[in-house]
Amino acid sequence: GLIEQLQVVERAKEAFLGGRTRPLEFRLQQLKALQRMITDRQTEISTALKQDLNRSQYDTPLLELISLENEIALAIEKLAEWAAPRPVEKNLLTLTDEVYIQPEPLGVVLIIGAWNYPWALTLSPLVGAIAAGRSNPSTHTFLLCYLKRRLCGVSETQELLKQRFDHVFYTGSSAVGKLVMQAAAQHLTPVTLELGGKSPCYIDKNCDLRVACRRVTWGKFVNCGQTCIAPDYILCEPCIQGRVVEGIRQTLLEFYGADPKCSPDYGRIINQRHFSRIMGLMEGYTAVLGGQSDASQRYIAPTVLKDVPPQSRLMQEEIFGPLLPIVTVSDMDDAIRFINEREKPLALYIFCSDKKAVKRMIDETTSGGVTVNDVMMHCALSSLPFGGVGQSGMGRYHGRHTFDQLSHQRACLLRSLGMESVNLARYPPQDRHRARRARLALRSPMIDFSKRTFVWAVTATVIAFGLAIALLVILLIASGLNCTCFYWRGFYY
């Protein structure tokens, strides 16, 4: 209940203020415990998601748990490196100083996950938060709460947001994201918002349509379309629209059989409210593929609609379900214009074999991320930051990006009390000569003293100095030989 949640927040604050979460050994211990929990409870987790979303028992590890285990393993391996002081460039004024950035824990972070991928979207930020040294409740408690359906509802979340946190990490809709940001603003709490939006998928007429349709079909209809980075709609030229529809039809038959309702691999809508919302989006349109539904099972067939008007309701809000509209454009220029006239999407997908055309579309559009000739795969790589831009979100996470997002990057400059004469130029009374010296020092170029660069610089200096000495010795020897030869020639004659 709410009282229990507030008690958890207080305990987390006490743990952080007591310094318990700061040592790297404690962070590693927590990460390894989380790793064991995910590994040991995979069957229970998959069973729970089968009940909620009719998700295949094979899909949950592939879509959530394996990537989560990879995130944890990476954090364990790299934690010492991530948490270490980071040297920065210096100028002449700070040449003898110790200058670095120290990542330090922010404090208590509130993570609000989402129901469509509850483990990846809740525990992936938690991995970075633990690595960054923030205080957190028991991850075992999260497991029990989810399996027993006792996670926070709307009222509990609203009360939680009234509390003062050091960071709020929210994943969900843009509408709720605005409310989260508004609540956080009362305490000037920074936020990370991972939102959604309408992610476009442009299919060029010269690409391999068979492969493109297979990949788009998988990305759109996995988890019954309830994926924030699923392709929301297709943009293509009219001349290939029929071939795209046929390619999707053949792929659906291959993936889910003649009746997806009977397929163990095809999911269901999360609840009746979302079922009614999605069905409402279809009103007034005739599906060229699918369109069947069963309210008693919250089942909506994989559905494709073509020649959808850009002004339609279907094209105004995020679908977040198994409906795939196709909008025709005259060419790539028209597609770029169409994308740029709308809110910045969370993801952009481009199927095209022309590298110059791909680069042009990337350069002339904006999105949280881009995948070319596939869908959603940029999200699977921990080295790439994942996040939105504009209405699709703010902030980045995955891998080190989560650690940095949930850490305070503290600027540190340590200097001695000696060499006071160097500082005289900044003290009053000022005169022309002092001002000139101060300007020279402040305008001096930045020098990279990071370990690798510094080693190379010292090595290069030593080699250059050695070569200079060797050249000088050679010149002196040559000069001495010339003098000797002249002397003996003179004596001889």
Phi-psi region of 234 (alpha: psi -120 to 50; beta: other; left: phi over 0): beta
For the segment 393-414, the average pLDDT, to the nearest whole number, is 97
The reply to whether 242 falls in a domain is yes
Respond yes or no: is residue 213 known to be catalytic: no
C-alpha 115/C-alpha 226 separation (Å) is: 9
Which residue in the list 64, 71, 194, 318 is annotated as catalytic? 194
CATH of the domain at 20: 3.40.605.10
pLDDT in tens, 309-346: 999 999 999 999 999 999 999 999 999 999 999 999 99
Best CA proximity match to 392, nearest among 172, 111, 120, 169: 172
Which residue in the list 228, 236, 352, 379 is annotated as catalytic? 228
Q: How many domains does the chain have?
A: 2
What single DSSP character describes residue 167? Answer: E
- Same domain? For 10 and 125 the reply is yes
Q: Is the pLDDT of residue 148 over 50?
A: no
CATH of the domain at 284: 3.40.309.10
For the segment 96-112, the average pLDDT, to the nearest whole number, is 93
Q: In terms of pLDDT, which residue wins out, 90 or 422?
A: 90
C-alpha 20/C-alpha 108 separation (Å) is: 12
- Same domain? For 252 and 342 the reply is yes
- Same domain? For 114 and 208 the reply is no
- Same domain? For 297 and 313 the reply is yes
Which pLDDT score, from 0 to 100, does residue 491 have?
A: 42
- Same domain? For 49 and 123 the reply is yes
- Same domain? For 180 and 274 the reply is no
Respond yes or no: is residue 64 known to be catalytic: no
Q: What is the DSSP string of 96-132?
A: TSEEEEEEEE--BEEEE--SSSHHHHHHHHHHHHHHT
Q: Is the pLDDT of residue 138 over 80?
A: no
The reply to whether 75 falls in a domain is yes
- Same domain? For 173 and 240 the reply is no
Best CA proximity match to 75, nearest among 402, 444, 427: 402
The reply to whether 130 falls in a domain is yes
The reply to whether 478 falls in a domain is no
The reply to whether 118 falls in a domain is yes
- Same domain? For 292 and 170 the reply is no
For the segment 394-420, the average pLDDT, to the nearest whole number, is 94
- Same domain? For 80 and 116 the reply is yes
- Same domain? For 252 and 143 the reply is no
Task: Supply the range of the domain harboring residue 404.
Answer: 2-195+400-409
C-alpha 336/C-alpha 26 separation (Å) is: 49
Which pLDDT score, from 0 to 100, does residue 434 have?
A: 81
pLDDT band at 370 (very low <50, low <70, confident <90, very high): very high
- Same domain? For 129 and 205 the reply is no
- Same domain? For 48 and 26 the reply is yes
Which pLDDT score, from 0 to 100, does residue 490 have?
A: 47
